[in-house]
Amino acid sequence: MTAWWQRGIVYQVYPRSFMDSNGDGIGDLPGITAKLDYLAWLGVDAVWISPIFQSPMLDFGYDVADYRAIHPLFGALSDFDALLERAHALGLKVILDLVPNHTSHQHEWFRESRSSRGNPKRDWYIWRDAKPDGSPPNNWLAYFGGPSWTWDAATGQYYLHNFLPEQPDLNYRNPAVVEAMQETIRFWLDRGIDGFRVDVIDRMMKDPDLRDNPVDPDWKPGDNAAFRLKRVYSECGEGIHALIKIFRRTFDAYDDRVLIGEINYSTSPEFITGFYGSGSQPYGDEVHLPFNLALCMLPWDAGALRAFIDVYDAAIPPYGWGNYVLGNHDQPRIASKIGAAQARVAAMLLLTLRGTPTIYYGDELGMQNVPIAPEQYQDPQGINLGFSRDPQRTPMQWDASPNAGFTSGTPWLPLAADAARISVAVQGADPRSMLALHHRLIALRRADERLTLGAYASFDAPAGCFAYMRGDAYAVVLNLTGAAQTVTLPRSGEIVVSTHLDREGVTGAALELRPDEGVLVRLDG
C-alpha cells in the first residue's frame, strides 16, 4: 500500500494571484474553484493553497488574525466548502497552509496577551524584560529586518517575533497554546481537508535560555541584513521534535491526511530527513513530507545535483518518503534563475525523481519573475530589506485577453509583458509548449508506478549531464549544458519523451543529447 501523497503531485496556488472572480484585482476562492478543471486536466493530485484566513495582510496572509475564518477578500466559508466539494468531485485533494509559529498582532490571543501582564494569555506569547540598559533580551534578528524583539510600552516588556513586529511568535512551551493549535488543525480536518502544509514548522521552539545567536562569518555587506547572525538559538530549539510529534498524532487520528512541514532551506540531507521522526509507525512519527527545498538553493550544475540527490535519497529512512520543490512564493522563479530552455530540463528532473514533486503555479508555463519597481513593492521583505518576493507572485497567465484573463479589474501586481503568449490558452494549443511537456510528464508518471515508486540510482554521464535510473526500467538523461553530448545508457531502449517534445523511438546505448535536452528512455528487457 502506498499513500496518495506518495504517488501524487502537489500544485501550489498563491490565492491572491490565481484567478479573480469578482474584478477586485485579487484572486479568490471562487476563482480557484473555477480553475480546478484545469488542474484536473494537468493531472496533479493535490492543490496546496497558501493562507486564505482572516488577516491584516501585512505578510499577505502569513499573519493570521483568525485561524477559522476566511478572509472576505477570498470569499466566505461557504465558498471554501464549495471549492472542497468540487475538488473532491474531480479527485483532487486540498491542502491548506497552517501558520502556527506566529499569529497576527490583531489575533484575539495577542490582543489579550498584550492587554496586561496579568492576563491569562500573557504567556501565550514570548514576553521578556529589557536588559538593564533597556535593550532587547538578546541579539536575535527578525527575517523581515530589525531586531526580533519589539517593546510594548503599555506593559513594559519586549515580545518576540521571528518575522514582522506584527507577527508575534506563540509560546509552545505553554501547553494551552499547543492544545489551541491542535483544535485549529481538527477544525479543518473535520471540515474535510486532506492535509496541511505547516509554515516554518521547525521554528516553533526557541532556545529555552534565549542565548545570543553567533555572527555568520560568511555574511558580507550587501547580503540580506537579516542573515548577519546564524539562527542557532532562535529556532529548532529543544523540544521541537516532541512538539511536531504531538501535531502528527492529531493528523493520525484521521484517515489519509498529509502533514507537510516547511523546514529551513537546507542542502543537508541529514537536516531534512531529521524531521521524519522514528520508524515506530509507517511514514515515521513527525512530518510525512519535510519540504526538501535544496533544489531551490543548489547551483544548477549536474555534479552538484547528483551529489545532493544521491545522498538525500539514501538518507531517507525506509519508512519515509522523499519530496522535491523547484520553486514557491518565497523564491525567484526557476525559469528566471536558469533560463527557459533549462527550465524544461528542470521540469523533467522534478517529475521523474523518486519523491513527491511540488509544482509552483505558473511554473508549468515557464512563467518568469516579473520586474516590479521598488516603489511598487508590496512584500514587506522587499520594502524593508530590498529582497522582494513580489516578482514570483504575479498573476497566473490564463489567456490572451486583458490581464491574461486573471481579472477584469486592476491586478494587485502587474502581469508579465509576455503574459498573453506564456499562457494556458496559447500553450495548451501548442503540442511542444512547456505546458504540453508538463502534461506529458505528469501523465507518464501517473501511468507507470516505476516512475513514482521505482528505486533511484544515478549513473555516470559526461560533465554537465545528469543521468539516473528509475527502477530497472527507465533512464533519465539530462543535458544541463548548451552543447551536444553523448550519454552511454546501461542498454538500448525506446525514447519515451524528450524535453523538446519532438522525438520518440528506438535508441542504442549511445544516446545523443542536443543542447538543453532531457530524455526519458524505457530500457529494453
Positions in the binding site for ligand GLC (CB under 6 A): 59, 62, 99, 163, 199-200, 262, 329-330
| Residue 152 or 330 with smaller CB distance to ligand GLC | 330
Each as own residue / partner, the long-range contacts of residues 334-340 (CB below 8 Å, 24 or more positions apart, any chain) are 334/360, 334/363, 335/363, 335/366, 335/367, 335/368, 336/368, 336/369, 336/391, 337/300, 338/300, 340/366, 340/368, 340/434
Burial (0-12, 13-18, 19+ Cβ within 10 Å), 486 = exposed
What's the min distance (Å) between Cβ of 63 and ligand GLC? Answer: 7
**Of these partners, ligand GLC, Ca ion, none, which one is at the site of residue 216 (CB under 5 to 8 Å by kind)?**
none
**Of these partners, Ca ion, ligand GLC, none, which one is at the site of residue 264 (CB under 5 to 8 Å by kind)?**
none
Q: What is the C-alpha separation between 521 and 507, in angstroms, rounded?
A: 8
Specify the amino acid at residue 80: F
Tell me which of 28, 45, 79, 199 is the catalytic residue: 199
**Of these partners, Ca ion, ligand GLC, none, which one is at the site of residue 199 (CB under 5 to 8 Å by kind)?**
ligand GLC
With beta carbons less than 8 A apart as the criterion, state whether 325 and 358 touch. yes
| Residue 24 or 123 with smaller CB distance to Ca ion | 24
What's the min distance (Å) between Cβ of 75 and Ca ion? Answer: 8
| Residue 8 or 30 with smaller CB distance to Ca ion | 30
152 belongs to the catalytic site: no
Q: What is the C-alpha separation between 277 and 286, in angstroms, rounded?
A: 5
What's the min distance (Å) between Cβ of 381 and ligand GLC? Answer: 7
| Residue 25 or 332 with smaller CB distance to Ca ion | 25
**Of these partners, Ca ion, ligand GLC, none, which one is at the site of residue 24 (CB under 5 to 8 Å by kind)?**
Ca ion
Q: Give the footprint of Ca ion on this chain (CB under 5 A).
A: 20, 22, 24, 26, 28
Q: What is the C-alpha separation between 487 and 490, in angstroms, rounded?
A: 10
Instruction: Give the chain's end-to-end CA distance (angstroms, integer).
Output: 26
What's the min distance (Å) between Cβ of 143 and ligand GLC? Answer: 7
Grid-cell match 491584516, residue found: 56
Tell me which of 262, 363, 364, 390 is the catalytic residue: 262
Residue nearest to Ca ion (CB): 28
Q: Where are the beta strands (DSSP E) in 272-402?
A: 289-290, 323-325, 356-360
| Residue 44 or 70 with smaller CB distance to Ca ion | 70
Q: What is the C-alpha separation between 97 and 52, in angstroms, rounded?
A: 8
Instruction: Tell me which DSSP letter residue 205 carries.
Output: -
**Of these partners, Ca ion, ligand GLC, none, which one is at the site of residue 59 (CB under 5 to 8 Å by kind)?**
ligand GLC
Length of the chain (residues): 525
What's the min distance (Å) between Cβ of 22 and Ca ion? Answer: 5
With beta carbons less than 8 A apart as the criterion, state whether 497 and 476 touch. no
Helix, strand or coil for residue 509? coil
**Of these partners, Ca ion, ligand GLC, none, which one is at the site of residue 97 (CB under 5 to 8 Å by kind)?**
none
What's the min distance (Å) between Cβ of 19 and ligand GLC? Answer: 20
With beta carbons less than 8 A apart as the criterion, state whether 290 and 296 touch. no
Distances (CA, A) of 522 to 278, 301, 471: 36, 25, 11
Specify the amino acid at residue 433: S
**Of these partners, ligand GLC, Ca ion, none, which one is at the site of residue 329 (CB under 5 to 8 Å by kind)?**
ligand GLC
| Residue 171 or 481 with smaller CB distance to ligand GLC | 171
What's the min distance (Å) between Cβ of 476 and ligand GLC? Answer: 29
Q: Where are the beta strands (DSSP E) in 173-249?
A: 195-198
199 belongs to the catalytic site: yes
| Residue 24 or 330 with smaller CB distance to Ca ion | 24
Could you give the residue numbers annotated as active site? 199, 262
